[in-house]
Amino acid sequence: MLELRSPHASLERGRAIRPRRGELVSGDAAVLRSLPDGCFAAIIDVLGHGPEAHEVAARAEAYLARRGGRDVVGLLQKLDARLRGSRGAAAGLCAVDAERGRLVYVGVGNTVVRRFGASEARLVSRDGVVGQKMGTPRLEALDLAPGDTVLLYTDGVRDRFGLDDYRGILYHEAAEVARAIVERFGKPHDDAACIALRYRP
């Protein structure tokens, strides 16, 4: 499992990834990149498992780690072109403006973005496969309130959980939250990845 702690002046961040049971490497990836006003975050879930899926995930991760920025729609379209000819992937990309308390998101396939805090919300990814048949990306946005936690995760994480299942979403450090989501709710027979963002203006 991979973890990352990287606090921003107004944004605490963490990520966790683990392969499915019986595999040494994961076909999921999680990217965090600092921006002048906040951060870029992305999760990737390559179709299938094992070393071949991991190789595609590593290519996508390296590309997004270099290029991640506020134009998440344009970046997803470029990623789609870059993964042409591969087995394809689901992907969710977001950029957080920490000064304004605003998150923008675009996703294709089974990726999830949820906000926990004063109110809960979920952003919807469009059907399709990045690198194969993606369709037209749709930009969505969320406003963030002080103390909100945002989770991005792949479908290797069981989706039916809430604060009653894990209250620490609201007060544990972001790195611990990401790790706990994967450990508690990850499906054993699938790769799993989670990014946690805590907004602290």
pLDDT band at 1 (very low <50, low <70, confident <90, very high): low
Of 15, 29, 12, which Cα lies nearest the Cα of 181?
Answer: 15
The model's pLDDT over 35-92, given as tens digits with 9 standing for 90+, comes to: 998 999 999 999 999 999 999 999 999 999 999 999 999 999 999 999 999 999 999 9
CATH number at 2-190+194-199 = 3.60.40.10
Distance CA 149, CA 140 (A): 17
Q: What is the mean pLDDT of residues 13-25?
A: 97
Look at residue 5 in the predicted model and tell me its pLDDT.
Answer: 40
Residue 7 has pLDDT above 50, yes or no: no
Q: What is the mean pLDDT of residues 130-159?
A: 94
Map out the domains of the chain as residue ranges.
2-190+194-199
